[in-house]
Structure 1
Amino acid sequence: MTPRFALIAAPLFACAYGAIRIVDGLDGSRGPGFAWTAGHLAFMAALVLFAWLFLWFRELAGRDAPATASAAAGIAGVAALLVQFGIDVAVGFAAADQEGMSALFQQVTSVPGVSFLVYDGLPYLFYVAQLVLMIRLAVLRVLPAWTLAPVVVYLALPIVSKDLIPVSALFMLVALFPLVRRPVTAPAAA
Structure 2
Amino acid sequence: MNTTRISFIAAPALMGAYGVVRLIDRTSRLGWTVGHLLMLAGLFLFALVIVGLRQTAPGRTASVFAGLGLIGLAASIAQIGIDIVVGLLARDAADKEHMFHQIQQVPGVTPVVYTVVPILFYVGLLGLTVTAAVVTARVVPWWTPVLVLAGTVAAAASLDFIPAAGILYVLALTAPAVRHAQRAPHAIA
TM-score by length of 2: 0.91
- Stretches of structure 2 that go unaligned for 5 or more consecutive residues are none
- The answer (yes or no) to whether the contact 1:3–1:185 under 8 Å persists in 2 is no
What aligned pairs does 1:132-171 form with structure 2 within 5 A after superposition? 132-139=127-134, 140=136, 141-171=138-168
- Distance, in Å, in 2 between the alignment partners of 1:92 and 1:56 is 33
In the TM superposition, what is the alpha-carbon distance from 1:159 to its structure 2 partner? 1.9
CA contact (8 A) 2:18 2:35 kept: yes
**Structure 1 residues 95 and 48, CA, compared in 2 at 3 Å: closer, same or farther?**
same
Work out the CA distance in 1 between the residues paired with 2:33 and 2:105: 23
* Percent of residue pairs bearing the same amino acid type: 38
Cα contact 2:53–2:176 (8 A) shared by 1: no
The two structures, once aligned, show a CA RMSD in angstroms of 1.5
Q: Is the 8 A contact 2:140 2:175 kept in 1?
A: yes
5 Å-filtered alignment, 1:86-97, equals 86-97=81-92
Runs of 4+ that moved beyond 3 A? none
Contact 1:77/1:126 (8 A) holds in 2: yes
How much has 1:70 moved relative to structure 2?
A: 1.0
Instruction: Number of aligned residue pairs: give it.
Output: 181
Unaligned runs of 5+ in 1: none
Q: Take 1:117 and 1:152, find their aligned partners in 2: how far apart are those partners? A: 22
Task: Tell me the alpha carbon deviations over residues 66-98 of structure 1, each in whole angstroms, 9 at most, x when there is no partner.
Answer: 111111111111111111111101101111111
Counterpart check, 1:41 vs 2:37: yes
Q: TM-score of the superposition, structure 1-length normalised?
A: 0.90
- Asked if 1:174 is matched to 2:171, the reply is yes
Query: Quick one: distance in 1 between partners of 2:116 and 2:156?
Result: 15
- 1:71-90 to structure 2, matched below 5 A, reads 71-90=66-85
